[in-house]
Structure formats: C-alpha cells, structure tokens
Amino acid sequence: MSTRRTNTLEVHTALSGTPLARRHERTVGGKLTRIPKSLPWSAFRRSGHPRAALALATDLWLGLARGEYGAVGLFSKIATAMTAAGAPFDLVYAATVASGDEARHAEYCLRMAALSRGEDASLAIDPAEFGQHLAPIASEEELDVTLVNAVAVSETLATALLTACQRRASDRLSRSLLTAILSDEVHHARLGWYYLAHRAPRWTTAERQRLADAAADVVVGVEEEFWVGRDAPASASGAARALGVLDSKSQRAVIRDVMENEIVPGLDALGFGASRVWPLRRRGGKRARR
C-alpha cells in the first residue's frame, strides 16, 4: 500500500486485505509453491486422430499460443504499473508470476500445435500491432480498466473455456496440458477480482461510472465474439472432442453460463450494473478468440 507526499511515492508492507494476501504470506513464508509438473509429451500419437480433428486441434493450440504470448507483456506492464502506483506487494507479486506463467503456456501451446500439425508451428506477429499492445499503462485509472476487462473478465472467460476443453479431452497429453494451463489461469482470474476488490472503496462515483462504461462495452460484445467455435465434420467430431476442441454449441453454452453465474454478478458487486447491460448483448458472427 502506498501514500503520496508531494511528488514522493511511499511504499509500505501492508497487503491488499483480500484472500490473495493470505496466499502471498504463505508463499513468501516458504509454505506454498507452484512447481510446474512434467507433461507426457511422448504419449501423443498423431496417427491415432483423423486429419480434420488434428487441423482443429492445431487451430486451437495456435490460438491459445497467440493469446498466452500476448499475455506475457500484458502482465508485465500490469506489474510495472502496479509498482508505479505503489500497489500492495501481494498484487504486484502475483502479476509478475502471471507473466512467467504465460510465457510457459505459450511455449506449451506452440509445442502442442507442432505435434498436432506434424511439423514446426510458429506465430506470425505484426511488430506495429504488437508494439501498440505493449504500450505502457499511463495512469491508475487505465490500470483499473485493464484489470477489469483484460484480467478479471478475460481470464475468467479463459478459465471457463479451458475447463470445458479439459473436461471433454480424453487424449492423455491434451488433457494433461489443459490441466496444467488451467491451474495457472485460475490464479490469474483471481488476481483481477482481488485487485478490483482492493481498489473499489477508493473509487469516486465518476471513476466507478467510467469503469462501468468500459466493462459494459465488453459485456455486450462477448457472446458475439465467442459465437463460433471449432466445428468438426460428423466423421471427426468424436476425435475432436477427445482432443479438447469445443464446437460452437458447447462454446456458446460455456460463455453464457460463466457470464450469468460469475462475471455479471462479479461486476454487479463492484457497482457496475452489468446485469442491466447483459440483456442488451449482441449475438452471432465472429471467430473464436481462444
């Protein structure tokens, strides 16, 4: 926690007062560690799956790799902005850990995409677009918006989608890999909500309204953004399911469930009135993000 005197930022050892603080104390006390488990890479047999299912799985893993690679920089700049704002150490620490998690996830996903494709897989990234994505967070209010939309909402959506993929995957490596990524993404989503719980008492009415407006833009468009999943032909639908691929119908059900039972109530608890916005949402059209 920090206080400002003129142009001086004073950083204190007080924690956020959220459940994250208790977890942080256990971590720095050496009582809690998150060590990545080994994955059964050699268990994957590409020849055991039809081409159509493998193509969809490759698309899934490349999409995940792109998102995870972008999140490396996202959490890095969040940690930097939190540090500049003098945020509690448990929040700053969690953001730095998340950046490392995402780098590991991106590597996992690219490796899995290569196995699914049967040859090397890579990401083609536009330098200008990526540079804009990595632009520093300029203010504490911008940091709040980022934690609402790009962490609390986005990571909760990712957790729900990955959970659905993991539950249907029967392929040993696919299931193990989804489980490993999911175990970290849960913590990333919690970071977003805990940060907002810490910040909420400090917002003015005007600040809360601007954050509510920013969240509303995401809420009305989220179902449309995830309307189209990865639909396999009938002959490969079982194999696609075994590889953890979500079809459109299943994906829509996941998004609606997590929005109505987790995200909208969470935003309402922050005073954002998301339950009034959700009925106005758009549907149909765009390609899946993850």
The CATH number of the domain holding residue 67 is 1.20.1260.10
- The per-residue pLDDT for range 266-283, each reduced to its tens digit, is 999 999 999 999 999 998
Beta bridge pairs of residue 4 = 9
Residue 286 pLDDT more than 60? Answer: no
Q: Are 208 and 112 in contact (CB under 8 A)?
A: no
Mean pLDDT of 232-254: 98
pLDDT at position 24: 81
Count of Cβ atoms closer than 10 Å to residue 184 Cβ: 21
Question: pLDDT band at 290, cuts 50/70/90?
Answer: very low
Cα atoms in the Cβ-side hemisphere of radius 13 Å centred on 124: 0
**What phi and psi values does residue 228 have, to the nearest 5 degrees?**
-105, 120
Is 27 buried (19+), middle (13-18) or exposed (0-12) by CB count in 10 A? Answer: middle
pLDDT at position 289: 42
Question: pLDDT band at 134, cuts 50/70/90?
Answer: confident
Displacement of CA 284 from its chain's centroid (Å): 22
Question: pLDDT band at 26, cuts 50/70/90?
Answer: confident
pLDDT at position 285: 59
Beta bridge pairs of residue 10 = 3
Instruction: Evaluate whether residue 28 is within a structural domain.
Output: no
The mean predicted confidence, pLDDT, of the chain is 92
Instruction: Evaluate whether residue 23 is within a structural domain.
Output: no
DSSP annotation of 42 reads: G
Q: Are 70 and 133 in contact (CB under 8 A)?
A: yes
Residue 83 pLDDT more than 60? Answer: yes
pLDDT at position 6: 53
Gap between the Cα atoms of 168 and 172, Å rounded: 11
Gap between the Cα atoms of 64 and 76, Å rounded: 18
As a whole number of Å, the end-to-end CA separation of the chain is 35
Question: Number of folded domains in the chain?
Answer: 1
- The per-residue pLDDT for range 177-206, each reduced to its tens digit, is 999 999 999 999 999 999 999 999 999 999
Mean pLDDT of 72-82: 96
Domain housing 163: 50-280
Q: CA angle, 68 as apex, 101 and 282 as ends, to 5°? A: 130
- Between 230 and 125, the more confident residue is 230
Mean pLDDT of 204-232: 97
Mean pLDDT of 252-262: 98
pLDDT at position 81: 97
pLDDT at position 130: 83
- For residue 220, the SS3 value is helix
DSSP annotation of 3 reads: E
Instruction: Evaluate whether residue 61 is within a structural domain.
Output: yes
Count of Cβ atoms closer than 10 Å to residue 219 Cβ: 24
Instruction: Evaluate whether residue 286 is within a structural domain.
Output: no
Instruction: Evaluate whether residue 134 is within a structural domain.
Output: yes
Instruction: Evaluate whether residue 257 is within a structural domain.
Output: yes
pTM score of the predicted model: 0.90
Instruction: Evaluate whether residue 180 is within a structural domain.
Output: yes
Displacement of CA 47 from its chain's centroid (Å): 32
Q: Are 196 and 155 in contact (CB under 8 A)?
A: no
Is 117 buried (19+), middle (13-18) or exposed (0-12) by CB count in 10 A? Answer: middle
Instruction: Evaluate whether residue 97 is within a structural domain.
Output: yes
Mean pLDDT of 153-157: 98
